[in-house]
């Protein structure tokens, strides 16, 4: 899902991406709590051996990113958080309504509905038809564990931070985004683009420009 952004940043920066636990090609996990996700990011960072780096995350990945930056301050030089708040109240009803299997890729896209373009990278062919790279029940467990008040972690981040919000987002309200910036006055700034929740998909060029400009300014 971040391949276009990686291509846009590639001429100047080395870009590394991981599939979160239970996502993409990563294994299913016994638990999807906050500490496990943050430990995964820390282990990945140690493994690649690049030293302190800028970290970017969207939605669930955004919370993982700012919690990692808060708990491992010496490892994060800059932080980009895309369309997620410091308080999360996730509705997993959408996930439960996703089709478990479909006979063809086209049928899976049709059954997925308007969200199909955002999930197309997760379509996988299985022995019993087409489904997703993620397990729906595991994803619901992850979403339930994501919910809660994460203000302490957000406020503890010390590095320069860019918060990107989709102006039509149903996940991060304008008022909450402003509160997040106010809590970190002087080291966090807000940018908005005319998109929904998946800003990097809806406005890839503009999103890449924001990220480039932010990283270059540091």
Residues of the chain with pLDDT below 50 are none
pTM, 2 dp = 0.95
pLDDT given at position 112 = 97
Name the CATH superfamily housing domain 3-89+147-217. Answer: Alpha/Beta hydrolase fold, catalytic domain (3.40.50.1820)
Any idea what DSSP says for residue 178? H
- Determine the length of the chain: 218
Domain with CATH 3.40.50.1820 in the chain: 3-89+147-217
pLDDT given at position 187 = 96
User: What are residue 78's DSSP bridge partners?
Assistant: 54
pLDDT given at position 218 = 67
For residue 76, what are the contacts with CB-CB under 8 A and spacing of at least 6? 52, 53, 54, 55, 68, 69, 157, 159
């Amino acid at each position: 899902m971040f391949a276009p952004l990686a291509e846009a940043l590639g001429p100047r920066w080395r870009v590394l991406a991981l599939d979160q636990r239970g996502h993409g090609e990563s294994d299913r996990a016994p638990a999807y709590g906050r500490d496990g996700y943050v430990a995964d990011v820390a282990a990945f960072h140690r493994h690649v051996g690049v030293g302190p780096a800028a970290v970017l995350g969207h939605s669930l990945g955004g919370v993982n990113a700012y919690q990692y930056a808060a708990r491992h301050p010496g490892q994060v030089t800059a932080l980009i958080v895309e369309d997620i708040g410091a308080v999360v109240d996730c509705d997993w009803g959408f996930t439960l309504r996703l089709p478990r299997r479909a006979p063809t890729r086209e049928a899976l896209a049709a059954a997925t509905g308007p969200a199909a373009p955002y999930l197309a990278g997760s379509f996988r062919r299985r022995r019993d038809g087409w489904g997703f790279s993620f397990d729906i029940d595991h994803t619901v467990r992850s979403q339930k564990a994501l919910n809660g008040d994460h203000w302490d972690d957000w406020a503890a981040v010390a590095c320069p931070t860019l918060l990107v919000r989709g102006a039509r987002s149903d996940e991060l309200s304008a008022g909450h985004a402003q509160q997040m910036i106010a809590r970190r006055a002087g080291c966090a700034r807000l940018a908005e683009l005319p998109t929904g929740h998946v800003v990097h998909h809806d406005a890839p060029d503009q999103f890449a420009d924001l990220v480039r400009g932010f990283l270059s300014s540091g």
